[in-house]
Amino acid sequence: MKIAFGSDHAGFRLKKTVMEHLAAQGHLCTDCGTDTDDTPASYVPAAVQVADKVNRKEADFGVLVCGTGLGISISANKIDGIRAALCTNEYMARMARQHNDANVLAMGARVVGTGVACAIADAFFGEAFEAGGRHQVRVNELMDLEK
């Protein structure tokens, strides 16, 4: 699976940890920045870069990390075609995939620890969308909001 990663300076370290964790499982991981936690960096460009890679099918999914996960998930959700889910536990991650067909996982580095973040990522990428039925209807409704 191809996964694009992005963060601001606050999410840099957690992004790197989760990226290494998923790469060790055989996923192809691309880092869209930022490249350090020493210099303040906005989460908006990182969210846009990851969203663009997902929309262009250069990545199957995205992972975004900022301090709380809020700003970076809001930014990503402004991009047509993106369903970014801010997850703080494994259950949310599973439901984001199963029920909402989320294509971007967002987390907060100041909210979840590294072990929990890796478990959230495993749960997110271990699930598939339950296509059809009420979930498909709702995802279609979400996508219609972009028109």
Residue count (the chain): 147
66 is catalytic: yes
Q: Cis ω on the peptide bond leading into residue 34 (within 30° of 0)? A: yes
Given 27, 99, 118, 135, the catalytic residue: 99
Q: Residue 132 pLDDT > 90, yes or no? A: no
- For 33-74, the pLDDT digits (tens) are 999 999 999 999 999 999 999 999 999 999 999 999 999 999
- Count CB neighbours of 101 within 10 A: 20
Question: Pick from 108, 100, 63, 59: which is nearest to 83 by CA?
Answer: 100
- For 14-24, the pLDDT digits (tens) are 999 999 999 99
Give, rounded to a whole angstrom, the gap between the first and last alpha carbons of the chain.
29
- For 81-101, the pLDDT digits (tens) are 999 999 999 999 999 999 999
Instruction: Report the C-alpha gap between 108 and 36 in whole angstroms.
Output: 16
Per-residue H/E/C for 65-84: EECCCHHHHHHHHCCCCCCE
99 is catalytic: yes
Q: Is the pTM of this model over 0.95?
A: yes
Residue 40 near residue 85, CB atoms below 8 Å: no
pLDDT of 124 reads 98
Taken in order of first residue, the domains within the chain and their CATH numbers are 2-144 (3.40.1400.10)
Given 29, 32, 66, 87, the catalytic residue: 66
**Amino acid identity for residue 106 in this structure:** A
